[in-house]
Amino acid sequence: MKSIWNESVNFPEFQALKGDISAEIVVIGGGICGLLTAYFLKNSGVDCVVLEANRIANGTTMNTTAKITSQHGLIFADMVKRFGREKTALYLKANESAINNYKQLSKKYPCDFEIKPSFVYSQNDRKKLENEVLALNKVGFKAEFVENLPLPVKAVGGVSFKNQAQFNPIKLLNEIVKDLKIYENSRVLKIQNNTAICENGIVKAKKIIVTTHFPFIDKYGLYFLKMYQSRSYVLALENAPDFKGMYVDENDKGLSFRNYGNVLLLGGYGHRTGKGECGFDALRKFAYKNFADCKIKYRFATQDCKTLDDIPYIGYYWGYKDNLLVATGFNKWGMTSSMVAAQILCDMVLGRENEYAEIFSPSRSIFRKQLLINCGEAVSGLVGFSKKRCTHLGCKLEWNNQEKSWDCSCHGSRFSNNGEILDGPANRKK
């Protein structure tokens, strides 16, 4: 499998950490969230080091569809009920600010940034769409109900956000990493006394920021109960229509559409990692049925952390342990959420107040329906029979025949057939 973004640039290679060093801040995880955080910290005069287990931007960041939008599914009617109008408006404001921040960066670092409308559609629930528009308008956000969509799926309508964006994340990151202190192939095995410990070296720091997609420190925060991982699939198609916008089904198992140049990114058929069918065959059948002359140029899969309440966890890793911070749980909207996280984390490190920090605090209530589902999956994974066990917390592994990997349904770790780690939170080989 190869992502469409692989052809964009060749990242410079960074050496592995060898020996003991120190820095004001160490960022663990070299995806877009960690790299943006390090970039903003460096520009604020902070001595910052990034530790990446493999190659930077080679995981979820490389396999994104790269939509920059504050429209994160049909979540806002429910969010108003749970959190109220004021907090919902702040959530939207935080993500709209992220779009503008990318826009400003794109002026300095060209990255195929384009303003596009965003749409969430439904195939069978018009009332849900109408309620979403009503809730958004009540909090002062201009969303519109759209009757007809130019898609090869039957939809009863969609909710439209104007002035959203899309880009090429790898082109942007290739520029901002040039002046950062980065160590690749430097997996952090544990954190102890403000020290990140790798196999061949350590980094002592005043503060540590964990941006490893799924946090690997289980001692604090209960992230192994607060999140699960979802896997979804993308085909990059030539000779397919340009839909002039970004579209996604409100159902997680539905389809998404987004064009990049002369290529259509067709995505979908998501499922909990370790449970459900790989979606490549279903995407291929849909593509050939609806775009007769299309050609599959790339195919790739991505993995997303899902929280209990559809809002990311950004802030102190646990309580007010102010030397350890985290950003995770981006719920399939990692590009926008990474920018929001980078801004919040930078402000927290510098001792500046951030108006959005409370909304994203990892210390908020965990009493949600999804918690019971996660607990049930964890118990099933722990007691289930399998000779192959995950090195994270010991859950059973299932063989993924299409992607040739051993997958964990408890927390989403994945391993190659020879035991190499493909996705965390596991940080030891099988």
Dist. CA 349–CA 250, nearest whole Å: 36
264, 4 contact by CB (below 8 A): no
Q: What is the pLDDT of residue 306?
A: 96
pLDDT at 381 over 80: no
Banded pLDDT at 418 (limits 50, 70, 90) = confident
Q: What is the pLDDT of residue 94?
A: 98
DSSP letter at 145? E
pLDDT at 76 over 90: yes
71, 161 contact by CB (below 8 A): yes
Dist. CA 22–CA 194, nearest whole Å: 10
Q: What mean pLDDT is reported for the chain?
A: 94
Dist. CA 138–CA 77, nearest whole Å: 10
CATH 3.40.50.300 is right for the domain spanning 369-423: no
One-letter amino acid for residue 101 of the chain: N
Which residue bears the tokens 């596991």? 426
- Please give the model's pTM, rounded to 2 decimal places: 0.94
Q: How many CA atoms lie within 13 A of 182 on its CB side?
A: 28
Q: Considering only CA atoms, which of 231, 307, 224, 329 is closest in space to residue 276?
A: 231
Q: Transcribe 284-349 into DSSP letters.
A: HHHHHHH-TT-EEEEEEEEEEEE-SSSS-EEEESSTT-TTEEEEE--TT-HHHHHHHHHHHHHHHH
Per the document, the length of the chain is: 430
Q: What is the pLDDT of residue 12?
A: 87
Domain spans of the chain, in order of start: 4-64+171-226+309-360, 228-306, 369-423
106, 113 contact by CB (below 8 A): yes
CB atoms < 10 A from the CB of 108, how many? Answer: 10
Banded pLDDT at 426 (limits 50, 70, 90) = confident
Torsion of CA 324, 348, 12, 196, to 10 degrees: -20
The CATH topology of domain 228-306 is Alpha-Beta Plaits (3.30.70)
Span of 101-110, 173-182, 293-302, 405-414 with lowest mean pLDDT? 405-414
Domain 4-64+171-226+309-360 has what CATH class?
alpha beta
Q: What is the pLDDT of residue 417?
A: 86
pLDDT tens readout for residues 79-101? 999 999 999 999 999 999 999 99
35, 338 contact by CB (below 8 A): no
Could you tell me which residues come within 8 angstroms of residue 394 by beta carbon, excluding any fewer than 6 positions away? Answer: 382
pLDDT tens readout for residues 118-143? 999 999 999 999 999 999 999 999 99
pLDDT tens readout for residues 166-183? 999 999 999 999 999 999
